[in-house]
Amino acid sequence: MAVDLFDVELGGRDEPSGGPGGSCSWVTAVILGILVLLAVLVHTFFGWARDLLGALIS
């Protein structure tokens, strides 16, 4: 059985007559993971830029 990335809550193909969902769908989990990764990368980049500017100014 294959896992479908689209869940009932997002109008996906799993079950056309699905009831209201109460759990996190795969799409939501993937989007949240990407956003967390993006936040970590931005934080790392600005930390690196701060250190570089601090070294240039001093």
> What does the pLDDT look like over 1-58, one tens digit per residue?
455 555 555 555 555 555 555 667 888 889 999 999 999 999 999 999 999 989 888 7
Which residue ranges make up each domain of the chain?
24-58
pLDDT of residue 19: 56
pLDDT of residue 47: 93
pLDDT of residue 3: 55
Give the total residue count for the chain: 58
pLDDT of residue 43: 96
Q: Looking at residue 58, what DSSP letter applies?
A: -
pTM of the model: 0.54
pLDDT of residue 48: 93
**At a CB cut-off of 8 Å and minimum separation 6, what does 10 contact?**
25, 27
